[in-house]
Amino acid sequence: MSLHERPAAASVGEAIPHESAALHVTGHALYTDDLGVRLQNLLHAWPVQAPHAHARVTGMDTAPALAVPGVIRVLTAADVPGVNDAGVKGDEPLFPSEVMYHGHPVAWVLGESEEAARLGATAVLVDYEPLPSIITVREAIAADSFQGAQSTLSRGDVAVGFAEAAHVFEGEFDIGGQEHFYLETNAALAHVDEARQVFIQSSTQHPTETQEIAAHVLGLPSSFVTVQCLRMGGGFGGKEMQPHGYAAIAALGATLTGRPVRLRLNRTLDLSLTGKRHPFHAVWKAGFGADGRFTALEVTLTSDGGWSLDLSEPVMARALCHVDNAYFIPHVLAHGRIARTNKTSQTAFRGFGGPQGMLVTEDILGRVAPLLGLGAHELRARNFYQPGEATPYGQPVRHAERMHDLWGQLLSRSDFRERQAGVAAFNAAHPHRKRGLAVTPVKFGIAFNFTAYNQAGALVHVYKDGSVLINHGGTEMGQGLHTKMIQVAATALGVPLTSVRLAPTRTDKVPNTSATAASSGADLNGGAVKDACDQIRAKLAEVAAGALGVHPDDVRFGAGRVFPLGHPERGMVFGTLVHDAYHLRTQLWAAGFYRTPGLHWNRVAMQGEPFKYFSYGASVSEVEVDGFTGAYRVRRADLLHDVGDSLSPLIDLGQVEGGFVQGLGWLTLEELRWDESDGPHRGRLQTQSASTYKLPSFSELPDVFNVALLERATESGVVYGSKAVGEPPLMLAISVREALREACAAFGPANRVTQLASPATPEAVYWALDAARSAKTEEVAADD
């Protein structure tokens, strides 16, 4: 069988619960911080934080901390035996001599208890020389404060496109960031074992990179450091790069003291120390023909990278590659640059720049549709990619017709046209409440932009009793990756799900792993698990062929039995075959490997085919807005999403629902605020808790929430015909923001631009509808 083909009665495709669901809901699932109780003489780490957004450290006295009862040691730059850096770009000193953001740790205290370490941290005396700071993107632009590479994506000639345009529009747009707010904060637990191996339990999406960073801080080869990730209580990209420094601190403390070290950030520390989704600033110019089709788009995207590069360069690359979303734009010129500010180092977040790039274009279409005399849904559909067309970076848009089919299905299922009339009637009858209805598409590329990361490994053991143990390089953060890998292994070997167990992810079992990110976890690790299982199955087929008197190609595996093609009654139990194979000295384990084929990418030219395929989706949202307060509710949302042939439908539906709600939070609720004043707290994060940072909850769920997966959507060349599901659904929430725009516009005159801030909080919605209402008042006064 090819990679995408499924056998009959496969375990993949079954709607089963998450493999740890029972443990999650009963409180029996263990996380990194739960494991410390097993270790004797455990030490706890706490940071010494700087009270400035930008300052030079001119002196430090740790003696007062050592006088605090229970304090064992204070870690400083002088203690680092290797490289004093926690990043991959050489720009993130673990113990900085120059403070780069408010709260930046300059030392770490180890204590017998967390409280002792905290008190010790307050006792450390540090002298600072305050320096000028840059807090906002606009300040960075004015100061020409940038970092990393500046990229340009181009196709055609925008001057020609604008000359051909019947309408040309210009504008600016600010896009807010987002806090990950995973349930489990960053945590690491390190000890040195009897073989002098440094063993780190870490809540990390990228165990190999955590291993590498800890090793170079300690001055050790990677083979001396093992990192295990049991599971994470959420990651969303926030644990792809950020955990490395915390793991390195714990490992350094354990190495120097000979005692295990626990480092767990409380919620306030995690919010104030870790990176967020990148805020963006966009300046754009767009041309449209008389028929409403794009002729040209020129845009400059500036992201707020914070104090160091982290993953800001690939985030910007993906933003530029998704500025087209689902639309063909013949002439494109898109510039990307990364601002350096004195804030946390912004990092990966579900969508990885793609949402920001898409949102720019969706905002443009939402703004200009009234000026073109078109409904926003019609303007969007007119600009969809057609079969045979390619993206601005040169990748053919495979299955472009799927977007058209999906769009039509969703409009029909959601009764979109009928509800448009209902919304118009409601708005005409209610002067102080208005409803809005909008539909938006998603086209999202799947693979790492950095081609080398598109590989994975797995280790599969079959024991003599027929039971199976799998280990792969992906990490579990609640998204159901382990569940899918169990289903893949059970399908490939033809055994029941109950026969397969999965071991925790660790670097001494599967080395050189890529991060579990870019929505590629199931594609990559599923391919590797299947490869390992196929190797074992081929060996077992040879043994079975001898026993059954058939050719190995005619041996079939299914439901825990092995039998000749067409004769299941002549079969044997899988465990019996394995037992016999062992006595015939047959290898019953295999290392699997998978590399995504067909990818190539020129990072400088911004041209190539960086993605294996595109995931498609669309959503219809209806909202109701209060004209006095700007408060709103989502009355209904209809989602239709393309996941290929789902590996695990229940898991995938949950991912679509969760992604949509997280996107709704980013676009309408969650507002990060830093102190931008010139006062003593300049640069301090003001939204440091759930009381000041508004998260979506059950009350923000749509009153009616219809979610479906596109049927008959097999994706060839991917494990069992599936598609990624982690990131793309987040962008489905753009329809909520556009519905809010429609509702705000309903307070004003027709054919008027309605500008809406992002996030579209109730306050922002109020100002948008108030502007519309004022325009209507002025229009009436002018008529009089």
Q: Coil, helix or strand for 525?
A: helix
Of 671, 32, 89, nearest to 345 by C-alpha is 89
Could you list the beta-strand ranges (E) of 79-178: 98-99, 105-111, 125-130, 146-155, 167-175
420, two tokens = 């448009």
Task: Show the 3-state SS of 755-768.
Answer: CCCECCCHHHHHHH
Of 619, 777, 773, 757, nearest to 174 by C-alpha is 757
Alpha carbons 682 and 271: distance in angstroms, whole number: 17
> What single DSSP character describes residue 220?
-
Residue 609 identity: E
**Vertex 325 angle, CA 605 and 141, to 5°:** 60
Residue with tokens 């911004």: 606
- Give the strand pairing for 505-506 and 572-573: unpaired
Rounded-to-10 torsion of CA 386, 390, 396, 397:
-40
DSSP character string of 648-715 = SHHHHHHHHHHHHHHHHHHHHT----B--SSSTTTT-BS--STTTS----GGGS-SEEEEEEPSS---
- Give the strand pairing for 261-264 and 43-49: parallel
Q: What burial class does residue 583 get, using C-beta atoms within 10 Å of its C-beta: 0-12 exposed, 13-18 middle, 19+ buried? A: exposed
Of 433, 438, 323, 330, nearest to 379 by C-alpha is 438
Alpha carbons 251 and 202: distance in angstroms, whole number: 11
- What residues does 126 pair with on adjacent strands? 60
Q: Coil, helix or strand for 303?
A: strand
Alpha carbons 556 and 666: distance in angstroms, whole number: 49
Of 202, 261, 212, nearest to 235 by C-alpha is 202
Residue 566's contacts (CB-CB under 8 Å, 6 or more residues apart) are: none
716, two tokens = 């060839």
119, two tokens = 């008190």
Residue 585's contacts (CB-CB under 8 Å, 6 or more residues apart) are: none
Q: How many CB atoms lie within 10 A of CB 22?
A: 11
484, two tokens = 């899918």
Q: How far is CA 426 from CA 158, 312, 612, in A?
A: 42, 45, 45
Q: Kindly name the residue from 727, 742, 763, 778 that is annotated as catalytic.
A: 727
115 included as an active-site residue: no
DSSP character string of 591-647 = EEEEE-TT-EEETTTTEEE--SEEEEEEEEEEEEEETTT--EEEEEEEEEE--BS-S
Alpha carbons 469 and 471: distance in angstroms, whole number: 7
φ, ψ dihedrals at 404, nearest 5°: -65, -45
Residues marked active site are found at 727
